[in-house]
Amino acid sequence: MATWALITGASKRIGLAIARQLHSDGYNILIHYGQSAKEAQQLKDQLNDIRPNSAMMMQADLAEPKAVKRLTSDILAANISLSILINNASCFFPTPVGTSNFCQAQQILTTNLLSPYFLAEQLSDLLGQNQGCIINLLDIHAKRPLKDHGLYSISKAALEMATLSLAQELAPNIRVNGVSPGAILWPEQSLEQSQQAVLDAIPLGKLGQADDIAKLISHLVSATYISGQVIAVDGGRSAVGFKGA
């Protein structure tokens, strides 16, 4: 019987690529979405056309403090065999010093740090029954902050430490790893000049693709002796410094 993979933020961008990859690997996909109901429904229909009854969708605004508890309750009520949690959903916007406020901090930290952590905690019994795994989507800016995005960088740095802590505490029944994307997909409002500055700083000289992340996650899911690791997927950028954005 196929087991299920929960992917937060699964209907777009990197989350979409991960969902398609794990589905092709034979897993059933639990599509979490926040606001993108149309895209989530389209993905659900596509996956179920490929393999009937292999996808379902659940909504939760992970910026809301009570969302994780509701989502967990819905998952338990679905009575599925869950073996994978991919914490992909993320909140990203600039918060320059002097312009940010508590509400922005709460939104970023709840979405990017607290919700992934408590999802892992509250689903640990279910995941542990299947010798499951958790993979957190981090960012290369967890190690060196992105200018004007201090709260975002802080949230990803804290999630990296949470990844290592969870790997200790949830062993031996659950493996926990992190994946740190570099320049994979441009932010929707990025400028061409800043894009070129980033590309100039990447040894491989090109933008990564969402499938690069999805393929690594596919490997980590199947690699049963890897836990407590954070792997950068950045074209070599972290090896030479962080020039550019």
The CA R_g of the chain, rounded to the nearest whole Å, is 17
- Which backbone phi and psi does 211 adopt, to 5 degrees? -65, -25
Whole-angstrom CA distances from 63 to 35, 99, 131, 134, 198 are: 11, 20, 29, 20, 29
Indicate the Cα dihedral angle 11, 14, 17, 18, nearest 10°.
-90
86 beta partners: 7, 135
Residue that is written with structure tokens 């952590």 in the block:
117
The residues, any chain, with a CB within 8 Å of residue 228's CB and separated by 6 or more, are 163, 164, 167, 168, 176, 177
State both tokens at 49. 């056309």
- Which backbone phi and psi does 137 adopt, to 5 degrees? -85, 115
Strands 82-87 and 133-137 turn out to be parallel
Listed residue (168, 162, 160) closest to 231, CA to CA? 160
Q: What share of the chain is helix, strand, coil (3-state, %, to 5)?
A: 45, 15, 40
Q: State the catalytic residues.
A: 13, 139, 152
Q: How far apart are CA 93 and CA 159, in angstroms?
A: 17
